[in-house]
Chain A
Amino acid sequence: MSRLRITKILIFLAALVPLERLAWKAFHDGLGANPVEVITHSTGDWTLILILTTLSITPLRKLTKQYWLIGVRRMIGLFAFFYGCLHFTTYIWLDKSFDVHEMIKDVYKRPFITAGFTAFVLVIPLALTSTKGWIRRLGKNWQRLHRLIYVTGIAAVIHYIWLVKADLRKPLQYAFVLGVLLLYRLVVWISEARRKMTPTARNPRPAEVTEA
C-alpha cells in the first residue's frame, strides 16, 4: 500500500472523529442541556474547519513544496460537504420539522439563513463533480466551477457572524483565517497577471508584424 493511501486512510479516520464524539456523547448523556444546539453548533464548526482546511491545501503544498497534498484535498472537501449535510439536516429536521415552506420563508427573511443556505447550495455541484469522470469531462471548466468554494467559504463565515448575539470572537477567528487564505490567492493571481504582461511590455512586437 502506498504511503499516500495510508495517509488518506488516516485522514479519513481522523475526519470521522468529530461525528464519533457526538455519537458517543449522545449515547452517554453527554450532550448537555440542549443536545440539538450542541449538534447544530458542532456540525457547523466542523464544516467551517474543513472548508478552511481544503482552502489551505494549495498554499500549503506550494509554500512547503509538499506537492502530494493535492491527493488528499478531494477527501477533505467531501468531508466538509458531509458535515455541511449533517448541519443542514439538523436545521431542516430538528428546527423546521421538514417544513419546506417554513424553510423557504427563513431563507428569504433571515439573512444568516440566507448566507448559510447559499454556502450549502453552492457546494452541492462541487461535491457532484468531484469524480474523475467529471474532472475529465469538464476540463478547464472544472477548475473554474470549483472556485465556487471561495463564495461558499465567505458565505459560511458571514452565516456565523450574523447569527451570534454579541460575542464575535470565534466567528472572527474563522474570518481571519479565511481572509489570509483568500489573500494568498489574490497575491498569486496579481503576480501571475503581472508576469504575463511584462514580456509584451518589454518587447512590444513591431506594429507591421501584428498587422500582417
Chain B
Amino acid sequence: MLIKKPADIPSSEITSKNVYLNRRRFIAGAAVAGAAAATGFAFRELGSPSLVTQANAKIDGLQKSPFSTTETQTPFKDVSNYNNFYEFSTDKYEPAGLAKNFKTRPWTVTIDGLVKKKQQLDVDAIIKMAAPEERIYRHRCVEGWSIVVPWVGFSLSELIKRAEPLGKAKFVEFTTLYDPKQMPGQRVPVLKWPYVEGLRMDEAMHPLALLCFGMYGEVLPNQDGAPLRIVVPWKYGFKSAKSIVRIRFTEEQPMNSWQLATPNEYGFYSNVNPNVDHPRWSQAKERRLGEFLKRPTLMFNGYDQVASLYSGMDLKKNF
C-alpha cells in the first residue's frame, strides 16, 4: 500500500509576512466595501419614490351603467402603477414612469378594411361620438391577478355602427401605436411590433365591449392605454388593446400578437375560463389585488351574458 507523505511546503509557497498582512487588510477592506455597497443599494431602494401620481383632467357628465359591478374598486394608484404594457416595459412597475411624457395629442385613428367609410378620425372626434359612461368592470389578467376598475367610455358598437362595415366584414383588428422613440419597450423584440389584437364582429358589437378613454372619472393615464383603448371584460386583459391607432375590418381572423408569439399558450378568443388552464399555470383561481389569498375565477369573468356568443363552440379548442 502506498501511503503518501505530506510534502513539505516549499519555501516559495510561504507567503511573506508583509504580503500576508496586506492580504488581510485587503480582505477586510473588500468586505467593508461590499457591505457598504449592499447597504447603500438597500437604502436607495428604500428611499426611492415608487409611485407615479399624475392628476388628469376630469370627465364631466358621466352616466351610470347597468353593467357596473358593486364590488370594491381597486385603488387608482394600483391600477395606474401596475401595468402590463410591453410597449414601455415588461416590468409592470415601469410603464407609469416611462409613459409620463407619452404624447397622446394630436392622435388620429385610421379606420379601414371592409368598411363603407374608410377614414382618419381625430381621437377627440371619436370621444364625442356618444355620451361617456362609467363602467365598473372586473379585469382579469392571464397571469392570474385581477382588479376592479371604473372605466370611462361607451360601447365600441357606437363607433363600429358609424364606420358602416360591409357585410363581408367578420372580424375587427386593433393596432397599437408603433413608435420606439416614445415606447422604449418596442426597441426589444419580445413581441412582434406593432401590437395587434382582434375580435369577432359579434364580440365587438356586444354592448359590454367598451371603447375607453378614461378611468376613475378622469382622462386615461398614459400607462393605462391613453388616449384610446378597448376593454373587453370577459376576456383576459391582453385582448384589450391599448393606445389604438388603427381599426381594420377583415374577413379573415386577425393574428393577435400573443398568439403569434406562443400559439400553444394564447389563442384568438382568450375568454376568461377557469376550466381551461394556461399550459404552464392554472386559471382556476386569481389574486384580486388587495386580497391576501386567491379567489375562484368565474367563467367569462362573471359576464354570463356573453355565453350565447360561443354556444356550440368547443372552448377548450378555441381557447
Interface of A, secondary structure class, is: helix
Q: Is B46 an interface residue (CB 8 A)?
A: yes
B293 touches A21 (CB 8 A): no
Q: Is A97 an interface residue (CB 8 A)?
A: yes
Question: Which of the 9-residue segments A143-151, A158-166, A177-185 touches chain B?
Answer: A158-166
Q: Is A111 an interface residue (CB 8 A)?
A: yes
B50 touches A32 (CB 8 A): yes
Contact A33:B27 (CB < 8 A) given known A21-B45, A112-B280, A166-B90: no
Q: Hey, which chain A residues are within 8 Å of B82, CB to CB?
A: 32-34
Within 8 Å by CB of A10, from B23, B32, B74, B79, lies B32
Within 8 Å by CB of B81, from A33, A66, A106, A111, lies A33
Q: Is A108 an interface residue (CB 8 A)?
A: no
B38 touches A17 (CB 8 A): yes
Q: Hey, which chain A residues are within 8 Å of B34, CB to CB?
A: 10-11, 14
A6 touches B31 (CB 8 A): yes
Q: Is B39 an interface residue (CB 8 A)?
A: yes
- State which size class the interface on A falls in: 20 to 34
Q: How far is the CA of A21 from the CA of B145 in the complex (A)?
A: 24
- State which size class the interface on B falls in: 35 or more
- Minimal beta-carbon separation of B290 from chain A (angstroms): 8
B93 touches A6 (CB 8 A): no
Q: How far is the CA of A186 from the CA of B294 in the complex (A)?
A: 45
What mask results when residues 84 to 99 of chain B are scored 1 for a CB within 8 Å of chain A, else 0?
A: 0010001011000000
Q: Hey, which chain A residues are within 8 Å of B31, CB to CB?
A: 6-7, 10-11
Q: Is A30 an interface residue (CB 8 A)?
A: yes
Q: Is B317 an interface residue (CB 8 A)?
A: no
Contact A34:B287 (CB < 8 A) given known A17-B39, A21-B45: yes
Q: How far is the CA of A11 from the CA of B37 in the complex (A)?
A: 12
Residue of A with least CB distance to B290: A33
Within 8 Å by CB of B280, from A33, A94, A111, lies A111
Contact A7:B28 (CB < 8 A) given known A30-B50, A166-B90, A167-B190: yes
User: From residue 241 to 293 of chain B, which have CB atoms closer than 8 A to chain A?
Assistant: 261-262, 280-282, 287, 289, 292-293
User: From residue 1 to 39 of chain A, which have CB atoms closer than 8 A to chain B?
Assistant: 3, 6-7, 10-11, 13-14, 17-18, 20-21, 24-25, 30, 32-34, 36-37
Within 8 Å by CB of B262, from A36, A95, A106, A166, lies A166
- Minimal beta-carbon separation of B307 from chain A (angstroms): 27
A167 touches B35 (CB 8 A): no
- Minimal beta-carbon separation of B37 from chain A (angstroms): 9
Q: Is A136 an interface residue (CB 8 A)?
A: no
Q: Is A110 an interface residue (CB 8 A)?
A: yes
Q: How far is the CA of A7 from the CA of B35 in the complex (A)?
A: 10
What mask results when residues 90 to 116 of chain A are scored 1 for a CB within 8 Å of chain B, else 0?
A: 000011010000000010001110000
- 6 extra A-B contacts, CB within 8 A, seeds A30-B46, A33-B92, A167-B188: A21-B45, A24-B46, A32-B81, A34-B289, A167-B190, A169-B188
Chain B interface (Cβ < 8 Å from any Cβ of A):
23-24, 27-28, 31-32, 34-35, 38-39, 41-42, 45-46, 50, 74, 77-79, 81-82, 86, 90, 92-93, 143, 145, 188, 190-191, 261-262, 280-282, 287, 289, 292-294
Q: Which 7 A-B pairs have the closest CB atoms?
A: A33-B82, A33-B78, A167-B90, A14-B38, A7-B31, A166-B190, A10-B35
List, sorted by A's number, 15 A–B pairs whose CB atoms are closer than 8 Å.
Answer: A10-B35, A11-B31, A14-B34, A14-B38, A20-B42, A25-B46, A32-B78, A34-B82, A36-B292, A106-B282, A112-B280, A163-B280, A165-B143, A166-B86, A166-B90
